[in-house]
Amino acid sequence: MGKVAILGVFVADTAYRAARMPKMGETVMGKSFALGPGGKGSNQAVACARIGAETHFITLLGQDDFARMALAIWKDAGVVAHAPQRADSYTGAAFIFVDDTTGDNAIIVSPGAAASISVKDVEAQTDLIRSVQVFVTQLEQPMQAALRGLQIARDGGATTVLNPAPAADLPAGMLALCDYVTPNETEAEALTGIAVTSEQQADKAARALCDLGVGTPIITLGERGAWLHGHGLVPAVKAGPVVETTGAGDAFNGGFAAALAQGADPVQAVRIGCATAGLSVTRPGTAAAMPTRSEVQALL
């Protein structure tokens, strides 16, 4: 199966579809509303588990209905939760605007209890992190917690993956702890100062990330696919009409991590990540849109 630990955040997604985003002080009529599980780390864990890896998710929750939603989705997907519940806080939530015409989205995240994940909380999971083949984190939880997780994973011999989202300034030396870094075009520009609008610029940005200490950068390019440093473009895998792009990056990262843990080489793992993402965008929602291993295999 391969074993993966993911440090991150769960939030309840409140998704609104409308023709356009309202201006400040304005109200617009929506086309639909949906409530469901989300958060980058949680979405990645669900995707990873559905692709077949033994997946452990490290986070914090409140004691509320959204926490019950989180525990239910993880149980359904086969994710092993390491998620203490804090009575003095709340489970995270996100506002998601979805353009009804294009499927593009804009998001506001409030992590709740997970915003207080500390170095101590991560160190409490040292034995788990050192036991996995792949460790993944993002930047929705506190930076120092993500940094400590990468340090523990690197010391334990795990392959380390950083999805640097949302874009943020990173502590010195953090990128050098990463075997793989998986930014999208915007995040790659934030890290390198290089605007990624072509494959040539993706290659340039990837080389800059290598200079910053990254083992192998992978820049996700939306509908074009992903730029794998040392290989080039791994094309996107089309699975049907795009319904919603929310969670596509999480699907890629979860599928990629699962494939790595199961022994795939980097090109194979990126292709599985692209197929996982390609299927996810044909469905509404985030965690609910993550495909199974058999669906990905059938598509490929």
3-class SS letters over the chain: CCEEEEECCCEEEEEEEECCCCCCCCCCCCCEEEEEEECHHHHHHHHHHHCCCEEEEECCECCCHHHHHHHHHHHHHCCEEECCECCCCCEEEEEEEEECCCCCEEEEEEEEHHHHCCHHHHHCCHHHHHCCCEEEECCCCCHHHHHHHHHHHHHHCCEEEECCCCCCCCCCCCHHHCCEECCEHHHHHHHHCCCCCCHHHHHHHHHHHHHCCCCEEEEECHHHEEEECCCEEEECCCCCCCCCCCCHHHHHHHHHHHHHHCCCCHHHHHHHHHHHHHHHCCCCCCHHHCCCHHHHHHHC
- Catalytic, out of 179, 211, 250, 265: 250
What does the pLDDT read at residue 109?
82
* Mean pLDDT split into 10-residue runs, the chain, 300 residues: 95 92 95 91 97 98 96 97 96 91 85 96 98 97 97 98 95 96 96 95 97 98 95 94 88 98 97 96 88 93
What does the pLDDT read at residue 28?
95
What does the pLDDT read at residue 236?
93
d(CA 41, CA 56) in angstroms, rounded, equals 11
Q: Which residues contact 170 (CB under 8 A, 6 or more apart)?
A: 143, 164, 191
What does the pLDDT read at residue 8?
97
Q: Which domains does the chain have, with CATH numbers?
A: 3-299 (3.40.1190.20)
d(CA 14, CA 285) in angstroms, rounded, equals 10
What does the pLDDT read at residue 102?
87
3: closest CA among 84, 82, 79, 77? 79
Token pair belonging to 140: 């929705």
* Bond preceding residue 166 cis, omega within 30 of 0: yes
The pTM score is 0.91
d(CA 134, CA 233) in angstroms, rounded, equals 23
* 155 is a catalytic site residue: no
